[in-house]
Structure 1
C-alpha cells in the first residue's frame, strides 16, 4: 500500500510540473497574439511597436528661444509662428532681455531653460563656443541630413568654431556701398556703378571731391563709424578675410602684414590729411551710427544690408544709390566681393530638447528665406533673390534703384570673404586692436607703435587661448 501511495504522489507531482511548463510556454508567445478561440493570426513584436508609435501622439515640447536686438527686427516671429503651425507638438516662446550677452551667459550657467539663442556674429559665436555656452551640432546635422555646404555654400565656414558647426544661419548682412546722389550731383561727379566697383584709391579721391564746407555745416565725402571694420576693410579685401588677422597656423597675430598697416593708415589719412571723414573722436562723442547717414552730411557709406531698413525714403530728404564695396587697386576691374556675418541660432548646453531645438532652427531658417522682405536670408535660391530684389526696388522706387541693381549689388558679388577676426581668442584680440588703433587715431602713439602693440597683445591672448584649450 505504501508503494502504491508513493507512486500516486509521484504521478501527481509530475502532472503538476508538466502543467506548470505548459503554462509558461503559453506566456512566451509573441505579444499581441489574438486570444480568440480558433484564431490563426500572428503579430510580431516589431509590428506591435510600430503600431503603437503610429497611434501615439508626438511628445509635446515647449522651447525657449532668446532673441538679440537684430533678430527682433527681422521676420523671426512670423517664421516661428509658421513653424509652430507646421509642428503643433512644439511650442516656441520667444524671450527678450536687456544686456543680452551677459544675461544669456548667466542663465545658461545657472541651468535655466535656454534652448535656442540667436548669435549675431562669428566673434560672439567663438566666445560662446569656447566657453561651452553653446553646443556643436555636427551630429544632429548628420542625423537629420542637414548639409551646411549645400545650404550656405562657402559661407558655411563662418558657422564653424575649431572645425565644428555651432549655428544654423537665419539671415545675412552682406556689405556694399550706399551713396548720397545729391552730394554727387553737387560735386558734378558720376554715380558709382552697380556693375563695376571703384578701387580704394578711387574711393579715397572721390571722398575728397565730395567734401565741402567747414564747421557744423561741413559735408564729408564718406562716413566711417567707430567700428573696427572702418579701419580694417581695405586690408581685409587685400588679404581675403578675417582669418588673415592670424598667421596660417592660427597661432600668432598677422597684423604685421603690410596690408593691415596700409588699411589703418588710409583710415587715418582720410580723417586728418584729406579731412574727408569725420574724426574718430567726434564720431564717438556724438555717438553717430547708421541712421546718421540720413542727415545728408555724408557722401558715401559702406555698411551691411541691415542699412536698407534704416535708410528708407521716408527717413531722409535726398536720393541714394548702391554700389559694390571698393576693391584693391591691383584687382581685375570686373572683380567684386562682399563680406558680412550671419545672424544665426545655436543650441545652449542647458537645453533638454536638442532634437526638437535643432529641428526648430532649421525650419525657422527656411521660413525666413521664404518670408523675408527687408533682410537678406541666409538660405537664398534664385527665386528668393529675385523676389526680394523686386520688393526692394519697389520700396526704393523714388531713388531710382532698379531690381537689377539690387540683385547685382546685394546678392551677386563675385566673391565672399570672412568679415571679422576669425580665430582663437577673437574677442580679446579684436579688443586689443581696437584700443591700440584708437590711440593712433587720437594721436597718442604713432602707427609703428600701434602695429607693434597689437602684435604683442594679439600673440599673448592667442597663446593663452591655446594653453587653455
Structure 2
C-alpha cells in the first residue's frame, strides 16, 4: 500500500518578530521572478498536517523553481488552534498562511480583522477567483470581499463495520438507496448488543452538533434554517424538537450510541470507530485519510460505506458539508506571496488528491477520488462507488453549519443548551426556550 510522505521541513514553534504587511495598489499583473520567489513563509494550518494531499502538496511545491528558494516554517499542531491562533495574530506574531476549518471559523476570523483582503492580490496575480472556485467562493467571502482561498469541500456518508453486520446476520446498507432516519435508528438499535467493555453499539455519534441536528437541516433545507423569516432563532420549529428528542432516545433509551457522559468520560475521539465496537458511523470524507493509513489506524475488519440517511417520506439523496479555506493573516510579511502559495497549494491538491475535493464540484467531478482504490484495499472502495455515495449527481447538498448573523455565538448557545439536555440536566422544553431566548439575543448583538 502506498504510504504518504511526511513533511520534509523542520517544524518550528518560534515566535517571529512582527513585520509590516505588504500593500500594493497596482492593478497590473505581477510577474513571478524567473528564478522564483525568495524569502520565508510561516505556515500554521493545524490538523491539515494530517491530510496527505496537503503534505504532498507542500513537499511538491517546495522543490519547484517557483518555491525552491522560499524557506517554509511549519508550525506544529495545537489542540487549541481555533483559540490560540487568532490570539497570536492579534498579538502581532508574523504568520503567512492559516486554515479556517469551516465558514463559522472563517467569519469569526474575518470579522475580527485578522485576515487579509485578497481581492487586490487576486487581480495582481491574474486569477479570477470566482471562475476558479465557483460557488465555494462564498464560504471565503466576507462583506462582499474575498478573505480566503477555498480549500477542502466536505461531504458525509455512512461508514460501517462489515464484521458486526455479519455476526448479526444483517444485510449491509444499500449503496444505491439511502435508508430513512427512522430506519437508521431502528437498525442501530437492532445491531446493539452486550454490556460494559464487551458492548457493541449500533452506531457512533460524537458530541459534534450535526449528529443531532443533521436530520432537521435535511428536512428544512440547510443550516440557514436555524434562523426564521425575521432573522431570529428558529429553534422552536418542530423539526429541531424531533431531532433533539430522537438523539436523546438513541443515547438514553435505545442505548445504541454512547451517551453524552460516556463521550466525555471515555474521551471518544473522531477516530474512535477503529476500536471495532461500533457497527455504523456517519462521518465525513476526511475519514478516507485514516482508512488509507493502516499503520496509524490498524484494523482486522473490512469497512463499507453507504449514503447518509434521508428524511422519512422522501427518496431524494441528500448530503451536507462545508468548505474550509486557507487564508493570509494581516501579520504576513509578504501577503502577495502567501496568497499565491495558497492558490498553488489548493491547485495541487485539486489535481492529485484522492482524498478530498477542493474546487467547485461541478468543474470536474470525475476527478474526485479518482485513485482512492490505490490507497484503501477494502472491497467496494472504488472511485465510482465513492463518487456515487458522496457526490451523487442527483443529491441535494446542504450547508452543514449554522449559517447566518453571528453564527459562531449562536452555535455556542445551541451547543451549551443541547449538551445539558442530552446529559439529563434539563428537559426539552427548557432547552428550546433557553436557546430561543439566548439565541435571539446573540443574533441581534
TM-score by length of 2: 0.83
Pick the aligned partner of 2:273 from 280, 293, 311.
293
Classify the secondary structure of the residue corresponding to 2:286: helix
Confirm or deny that 1:87 pairs with 2:70.
Answer: no
Match of 2:162 in 1: 181
Match of 2:304 in 1: 321
Match of 2:199 in 1: 218
Bigger Cα Rg: 1
**1:253/1:455 contact within 8 Å kept:** yes
- Aligned pair in 2 of structure 1 residues 273, 311: CA closer, same or farther (>3 Å)? same
Classify the secondary structure of the residue corresponding to 1:179: strand
Classify the secondary structure of the residue corresponding to 1:345: strand
**1:80/1:364 contact within 8 Å kept:** yes
Confirm or deny that 1:309 pairs with 2:292.
Answer: no
Shift, 1:235, TM fit: 0.9
Distance in 2, matches of 1:163 and 1:235, equals 29
Pick the aligned partner of 1:255 from 231, 235, 246.
235
Classify the secondary structure of the residue corresponding to 1:183: helix
Q: Give unpaired runs (5+ residues) of structure 2.
A: 1-30
Shift, 1:390, TM fit: 4.9
Match of 2:418 in 1: 437
Moved more, 231-240 or 86-95: 86-95
**1:135/1:166 contact within 8 Å kept:** yes
RMSD across aligned positions (CA): 2.7
Pick the aligned partner of 2:105 from 121, 124, 131.
124
Q: Give unpaired runs (5+ residues) of structure 1.
A: 1-52, 465-469
- Aligned pair in 2 of structure 1 residues 358, 312: CA closer, same or farther (>3 Å)? closer
**2:37/2:66 contact within 8 Å kept:** no
**1:175/1:303 contact within 8 Å kept:** yes
Confirm or deny that 1:134 pairs with 2:134.
Answer: no
Match of 1:75 in 2: 53
Shift, 1:436, TM fit: 0.8
- Aligned pair in 2 of structure 1 residues 349, 182: CA closer, same or farther (>3 Å)? same
Confirm or deny that 1:419 pairs with 2:406.
Answer: no
Q: How does 1:243-392 map to 2 (within 5 A)?
A: 243-248=224-229, 250=231, 252-312=232-292, 314=294, 315-331=298-314, 333=315, 335-373=316-354, 375-379=355-359, 389-392=369-372
- Aligned pair in 2 of structure 1 residues 136, 458: CA closer, same or farther (>3 Å)? farther
Pick the aligned partner of 1:62 from 26, 40, 47.
40
Distance in 2, matches of 1:102 and 1:253, equals 26
Match of 2:437 in 1: 456
Shift, 1:231, TM fit: 0.9
Distance in 2, matches of 1:139 and 1:238, equals 40
Distance in 2, matches of 1:96 and 1:242, equals 32
Judging by fraction of residues, say which structure has more helix. 1
Shift, 1:313, TM fit: 8.4
**1:339/1:419 contact within 8 Å kept:** yes
**CA deviation vs aligned residue, 1:96-122 (integer Å, no higher than 9, x gap):** 353323332233223232122111122
**CA deviation vs aligned residue, 1:138-179 (integer Å, no higher than 9, x gap):** 343355454444434433332233444322122233211101
**CA deviation vs aligned residue, 1:47-79 (integer Å, no higher than 9, x gap):** xxxxxx999977634222212123443332332
Q: How does 1:157-236 map to 2 (within 5 A)?
A: 157-236=138-217
**2:36/2:65 contact within 8 Å kept:** no
- Aligned pair in 2 of structure 1 residues 100, 412: CA closer, same or farther (>3 Å)? same
Shift, 1:132, TM fit: 0.7
Classify the secondary structure of the residue corresponding to 1:221: coil
Confirm or deny that 1:405 pairs with 2:388.
Answer: no
Moved more, 60-69 or 152-161: 152-161
Shift, 1:86, TM fit: 4.2
Shift, 1:248, TM fit: 4.1
Distance in 1, matches of 2:246 and 2:100, equals 31
- Aligned pair in 2 of structure 1 residues 159, 317: CA closer, same or farther (>3 Å)? same
Distance in 2, matches of 1:157 and 1:181, equals 39
Distance in 2, matches of 1:271 and 1:299, equals 15
Confirm or deny that 1:393 pairs with 2:373.
Answer: yes
Classify the secondary structure of the residue corresponding to 2:208: coil
